[in-house]
Amino acid sequence: MDPLNRTWTPSFLLAGFAAPRMLRPLAFLGTLCIYVLTLAGNLLIIVLVRADAALSTPMYFFLSVLSFLELWYVSTTAPMLLHTWLHGRSPIPAAACFIQLYVFHSLGMTECHLLGVMALDRYLAICRPLHYHALMSRKVRLWLAGASWGAGFSAALVPACLTASLPFCWKEVAHYFCDLAPLMRLACVDTGWHARVHGAVIGVATGCNFVLILGLYGGILRAVLKLPSAASRAKAFSTCSSHMTVVALFFGSAFVVYVGSAGSHAEGTDKRIALLYTILTPFLNPIIYTLRNKEVKEAVRRVTQRIRAMLKGP
């Protein structure tokens, strides 16, 4: 890594992935396809929830909020990954690097809180069905969604500000975007204290929400097992299976990368794991939530018919 000249406004170099030159265009095209499909899938969910009255329920409201978040989440990292596939090591101003770091972690923590809210929604729908719509009124939904965003963007200030205050002696970030552990390796000072603070902040956010989700699903399991028929139990479980899959992907990767020691992973490990939660998970979320969902499929059919009728005219 090259020493950083701190007599001028610093910039960093994003190393990206080491790959043969012949494979880089293929990697670029593959990443671009996944990125475009991710944007299209999440936009489709947002449009369907807005356009189809049958999806105007709390569950689909929160799903549309999650899809909106995923649009921004994947867009904080995918463009830089595409750039490094084409051009190799890519410069990024320090200010842009720290802004990217803050926005990325803000969106990640917001998603963490939002997944907890979505678990609460499923718990109330299954365990308190008679009071569900009163408890999940439009005002409550908006408040819960806003609180998730506020909590995520507030908590991310701590790791972002601590990292930005470090003195840096090197400039090459062994990653394709600005993240905590790769940046701390470039510091001129010991970052053990910073790593512990980062782990505590992110660990509290992920840990509390994970425990909340486990507790809520424990209550759901008890309620579902009391249902009289196998068909009703299967239907109740099917409304939760998509959310549980997304929770496993999100929290599994978050605990591996951040809740351990933020600087303890070998170089190169972070960016390989990061592909899971920065590219793959946002790509899979629309598929997971819609593939086996009859209501969404019916909504697609109805909206498509309306669009065709509008194009044909009177």
Residue 8 pLDDT exceeds 50: no
Q: Percentage of the chain with pLDDT > 70?
A: 90
* Predicted confidence (pLDDT) at residue 270 exceeds the cutoff of 90: no
Measured in residues, the chain has a length of: 314
| Tens digits of residue pLDDT in 194-215 | 888 888 888 888 888 989 999 9
Q: Please give the structure tokens belonging to residue 54.
A: 């049958």
Strands 90-93 and 172-173: unpaired
Q: pLDDT per residue over 9-43, tens digit each?
A: 478 999 888 878 888 899 999 999 999 999 999 99
pLDDT digits (tens, 9 = 90+) for 162-172: 999 888 888 88
Angle, CA of 136, 127 and 129, to the nearest 5°: 55
Q: Which residues, including other chains, have CB under 8 Å from residue 284's CB and lie 6 or more apart? A: 246, 249
Q: What is the pLDDT of residues 49-108, one digit of tens each?
A: 998 888 888 999 999 999 999 999 999 999 999 999 988 888 999 999 999 999 999 999
31 close to 38: Cβ distance less than 8 angstroms: no
3-class secondary structure per residue, 119-134: HHHHHHHHHCCCCHHH
Query: Among 78-82, 133-137, 190-194, which is the least confidently predicted range?
Result: 190-194
Let me know if 102 is exposed, middle or buried by CB neighbors in 10 A (0-12, 13-18, 19+). Answer: buried
Distance CA 113, CA 282 (A): 16
